[in-house]
């Protein structure tokens, strides 16, 4: 309805009618310099034109200017009105400059059918078919290479991206929508997206060159929300949602979904969905997504049909472990199971492992042939279930064929346990095989895993393990003996492993006791070990034959105090070994051992050999000694050495007895540790004194 006409100025001519309206208001629109022209031709047809300098009052686009609508063939007959070969041009606010052919047809039922050939929209062209029938409308539009950034600007009245969120890219496809007045009641979106870049201000959500296809059908339900059905396929580009990085070029992702989108588009409840991340994961289930919130996944029941660890670990697991010792964990094998998410956090997981291999270089930890089922509950879910389920349904059991920690191989084992929240408890004692023996674990309990309060309790007994096998693995010289005893109260707290008691090893017919053991950063890049070691009454004959050092008989005791090992290299210790006081065993030292003891440290070894080989000494295979001993205080890479007794020349390493008497005397008191290590048992500059 024309509500008001001001300054109407009709001009009539023979073949052309034109009407100039200075200013008009029409259904909320304020129109300036409105004009009509009508050039009749034969019958009821004619040529019509409408001009307006400015139209205000359209909130969605802002003011329109220089609008002109021309109709080359306007036909009016009864209720029918049709316009062929029309043209609309002008600057249509945020839609920009337009110049498109159109046709319109008013039908007998009062509906108006409008076709626009080429609407300029966000840097591209779109063809639009619009059907208006009373307050109902239907739109069908084909879009080609729409600029997403420009579209986002146009869409501001209906949809606004979060602050400082940027998006750019192109979209083509078809959009069908229908509605009543200002409301959309159905929509059918079929879009192909290419080169989509997006980023939020913090850098926690971003995409680069994302390509894909979105196909979604929305229908308004009784509650005013959208019943939604569709699929999304991502076929190229990369996306990052802190801390997960996905490369769709390497692994495509497709999701089919059906559910309800809230009227304000902030919440999507997927009644059912199925997701295929090519070569990574196949997941289906139901989920509620909070599209505006911090953590998107609020609620879910997920069925994981398959998780291929080779690609799933780097994509979905490693990023969460970056601040832990297992940051470089790799794996092979498959996992399937179920995961429930409640309030944005996992509440329950049941995962079945199938021939899984895990390997962490920095953690010095690997497991292969891992199988079995893990049943995990968060603390709240477990309390809820208490009394409702039998123990078996909360029980987990994992087994492996072999595992490796710091190079030490553990054999096959099956671990029955329960785990809730950050806690873990072994249900039954198990034997963890190590070489020919093992660790019989009685208690293994972990609380607050992965937090600063992490606490571990471990009680176990060592079933005798051959030292020879252990040494071979660790690259130490081979010698025989066994390690056995209790591992008393091993605890891990604040990242430090400590023992309540000692570890004992029976070797060389004597005993080695490791006291005050603590290991910090055990799975970190640079583990640090502190301990003190008592060495009691070793049979030197067994020791020297093991190290092919040259035979020495007798006994040896000593201790290593305040041993500190950093990254498996000794940093400092105070070590002292000597013939035990009151030792009554036979004390003899062979020519070769004397030569070795005196030649170590380079230098005078040749002279000693000559002295031993020359003269009458060569007739003696071995010599008697009273006692022997050596000490080393290692600090700052320097070993400060001493022997059993001082002399004017230095200190006795071997103090001889009887005749011929041989003393090995060390003269060097400070030796660089690196050189000492390099020369294996090169301990000192020494000289031989024959009395």
Partner 1 sequence: MIRWITTGIVVGCLALAACVTINVYFPAAAAEKAADRIIEDIWGPGKAAEPAPNEQSSLGIRGGELMLTALRGTLDFVVPAAQAQADIDVSSPAIRTLTSSMKARAADLEQFFASGAIGLTSDGLVDLRDVNSVPLADRNRARKLVADENADRSALYAEIANANGHPEWESDIRGTFAQRWIANARAGWYYKKGSGDWARK
Which spans of this chain sit near partner 1 (rule: CB under 8 A)? Answer: 199, 201-204, 206-208, 238-240, 242-243, 245, 247, 318-319, 322-323, 327, 524-526, 528, 566-567, 569-571, 636-638, 670, 672
Q: What tokens does 233 get? A: 């396929």
CB nearer to partner 1: give 208 or 645.
208
Minimum Å distance from CB 324 to partner 1? Answer: 9
Q: What angle do CA 318, 324, 328 make, to 5 degrees?
A: 40
CB nearer to partner 1: give 206 or 641.
206
Nearest CA-CA partner of 210 in 239, 250, 190: 239
Q: What is d(CA 233, CA 255) in angstroms, rounded to the nearest whole number?
A: 6
Q: What SS3 class is residue 671?
A: strand
CB nearer to partner 1: give 30 or 525.
525
CB nearer to partner 1: give 156 or 322.
322
CB nearer to partner 1: give 189 or 571.
571
Backbone conformation region of residue 169, classed left if phi is above 0, alpha if psi is from -120 to 50, else beta: left
- What does 154-184 look like in DSSP terms, one character per residue? HTTTT--PPTT-EEEEEEEEEEEEEEETTEE
Minimum Å distance from CB 563 to partner 1? Answer: 13
Minimum Å distance from CB 163 to partner 1? Answer: 15
3-state secondary structure 131-148: EEECCEEEEEEEEEEEEH
Minimum Å distance from CB 300 to partner 1? Answer: 24
Minimum Å distance from CB 529 to partner 1? Answer: 12
State the DSSP H helix or E strand holding residue 605, giving kind and residue range, or none if neither.
Answer: helix 605-613
Minimum Å distance from CB 210 to partner 1? Answer: 10
- Determine phi and psi for 225, rounding to 5 degrees: -90, 175
Minimum Å distance from CB 245 to partner 1? Answer: 6
Assess whether the previous peptide bond of 660 is cis (omega < 30° from 0).
Answer: yes
Q: Residue 594 forms beta bridges with which residues?
A: none
Q: What is d(CA 332, CA 449) in angstroms, rounded to the nearest whole number?
A: 24
Minimum Å distance from CB 240 to partner 1? Answer: 4
Spatial neighbors of 13 by CB under 8 A, at least 6 apart, are: none
Minimum Å distance from CB 608 to partner 1? Answer: 27
Minimum Å distance from CB 638 to partner 1? Answer: 5
Distance in angstroms between the alpha carbons of the first and the last residue of the chain: 134
CB nearer to partner 1: give 327 or 511.
327
Q: What angle do CA 128, 131, 137 make, to 5 degrees?
A: 105
CB nearer to partner 1: give 162 or 614.
162
366 near 393, Cβ under 8 Å? no
182 near 158, Cβ under 8 Å? no
Nearest CA-CA partner of 180 in 228, 131, 223: 131
Half-sphere exposure of 601 (CA within 13 A, CB side): 20
CB nearer to partner 1: give 322 or 649.
322
Minimum Å distance from CB 221 to partner 1? Answer: 37
Spatial neighbors of 528 by CB under 8 A, at least 6 apart, are: 519, 520, 521, 564, 565, 566, 567
CB nearer to partner 1: give 270 or 684.
684
CB nearer to partner 1: give 49 or 207.
207
- What does 624-654 look like in DSSP terms, one character per residue? EEEEEEEEEEEETTEEEEE-SEE-SSSEEEE
Question: How many distinct helices (H) and strands (E) make up the chain?
Answer: 8, 45
- Residue 403 CA, chain-centre distance (Å), reads 22
CB nearer to partner 1: give 206 or 218.
206
CB nearer to partner 1: give 116 or 575.
575
From residue 475, give the alpha-carbon distance in Å to each of 448, 485, 650: 36, 23, 34
Q: Residue 336 forms beta bridges with which residues?
A: 352
657 near 625, Cβ under 8 Å? yes
CB nearer to partner 1: give 206 or 593.
206
Minimum Å distance from CB 647 to partner 1? Answer: 22
Minimum Å distance from CB 680 to partner 1? Answer: 18
CB nearer to partner 1: give 195 or 369.
195
181 near 165, Cβ under 8 Å? no
CB nearer to partner 1: give 60 or 569.
569
Minimum Å distance from CB 684 to partner 1? Answer: 16
Minimum Å distance from CB 359 to partner 1? Answer: 17
Minimum Å distance from CB 631 to partner 1? Answer: 15
417 near 429, Cβ under 8 Å? no
CB nearer to partner 1: give 526 or 620.
526
544 near 521, Cβ under 8 Å? no
Map tokens 């799975």 to a residue.
523
């Amino acid at each position: 309805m024309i509500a008001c006409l001001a300054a109407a100025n009709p001009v009539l001519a023979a073949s052309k009618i034109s009407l100039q309206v200075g200013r008009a208001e029409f259904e909320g629109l304020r129109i300036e310099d409105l004009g009509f022209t009508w050039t009749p031709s034969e019958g009821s047809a004619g040529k019509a034109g409408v001009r307006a300098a400015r139209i205000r009052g359209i909130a969605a686009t802002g003011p329109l200017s220089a609008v002109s609508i021309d109709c080359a063939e306007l036909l009016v007959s009864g209720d029918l009105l049709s316009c062929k070969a029309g043209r609309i041009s002008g600057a249509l606010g945020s839609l920009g400059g337009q110049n498109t052919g159109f046709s319109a047809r008013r039908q007998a039922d009062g509906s108006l059918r409008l076709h626009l050939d080429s609407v300029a929209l966000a840097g591209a062209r779109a063809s639009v078919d619009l059907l208006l029938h009373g307050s109902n409308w239907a739109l069908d539009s084909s879009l080609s290479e729409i600029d997403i950034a420009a579209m986002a600007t146009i869409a501001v009245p209906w949809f606004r991206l979060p602050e400082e969120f940027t998006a750019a890219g192109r979209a083509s496809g078809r959009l069908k929508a229908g509605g009543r007045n200002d409301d959309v009641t159905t929509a059918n979106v079929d879009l192909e997206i290419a080169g989509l870049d997006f980023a939020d201000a913090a850098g926690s959500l971003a995409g680069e060159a994302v390509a894909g296809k979105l196909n979604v059908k929305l229908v308004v339900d009784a509650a005013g929300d959208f019943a939604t059905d569709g699929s999304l396929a991502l076929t190229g580009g990369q996306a990052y949602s802190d801390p997960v990085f996905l490369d769709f070029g390497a692994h495509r992702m497709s999701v089919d979904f059906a559910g309800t989108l809230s009227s304000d588009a902030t919440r999507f409840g997927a009644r059912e969905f199925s997701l295929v991340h090519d070569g990574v994961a196949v997941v289906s289930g139901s989920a509620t997504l909070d599209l505006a919130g911090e953590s998107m996944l609020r609620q879910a029941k997920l069925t994981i049909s398959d998780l291929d660890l080779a690609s799933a670990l780097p994509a979905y697991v490693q990023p969460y472990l970056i601040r832990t010792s297992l940051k470089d964990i790799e794996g092979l094998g498959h996992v399937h199971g179920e995961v429930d998410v409640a309030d944005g956090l996992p509440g329950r997981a049941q995962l079945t492992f199938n021939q899984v291999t895990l390997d962490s270089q920095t953690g010095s930890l690997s497991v292969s042939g891992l199988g079995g089922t893990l049943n995990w509950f968060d603390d709240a879910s477990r309390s809820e279930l208490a009394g409702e389920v039998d123990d078996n349904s909360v029980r987990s059991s994992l087994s492996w064929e072999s595992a490796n920690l710091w190079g030490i191989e553990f054999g096959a084992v099956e671990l029955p346990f329960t785990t809730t929240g950050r806690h873990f408890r072994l249900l039954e004692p198990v034997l963890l095989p190590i070489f020919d023996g093992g660790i019989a674990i009685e208690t293994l309990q972990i609380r607050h895993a992965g937090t600063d309060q992490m606490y571990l309790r471990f009680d176990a007994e060592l079933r005798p393990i051959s030292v020879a096998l252990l040494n071979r693995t660790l690259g130490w010289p081979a010698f025989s003996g066994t390690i056995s005893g209790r591992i008393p109260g091993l605890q891990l707290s604040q990242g430090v492993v400590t023992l309540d008691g000692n570890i004992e090893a029976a070797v060389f017919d004597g005993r080695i006791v490791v006291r005050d053991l603590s290991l910090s950063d055990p799975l970190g890049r640079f583990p640090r070990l502190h301990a003190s070691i008592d060495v009691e009454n070793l049979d030197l004959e067994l020791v020297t034959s093991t190290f092919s050092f040259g035979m020495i008989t007798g006994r040896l005791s000593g201790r290593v105090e305040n041993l500190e090992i950093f990254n498996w290299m000794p940093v400092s210790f105070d070590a002292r070994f000597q013939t035990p006081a009151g030792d009554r065993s036979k004390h003899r030292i062979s020519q070769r051992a004397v030569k070795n003891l005196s030649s170590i440290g380079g230098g005078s070894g040749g002279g000693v050999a000559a002295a031993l080989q020359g003269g009458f000494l060569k007739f003696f295979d071995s010599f008697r000694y009273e006692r022997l001993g050596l000490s080393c205080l290692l600090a700052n890479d320097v070993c400060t050495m001493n022997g059993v007794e001082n002399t004017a020349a230095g200190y006795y390493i071997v103090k001889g007895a009887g005749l011929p008497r041989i003393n090995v005397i060390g003269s060097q008191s400070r030796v660089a540790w690196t050189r000492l290590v390099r020369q294996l048992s090169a301990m000192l500059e020494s000289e031989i004194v024959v009395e």
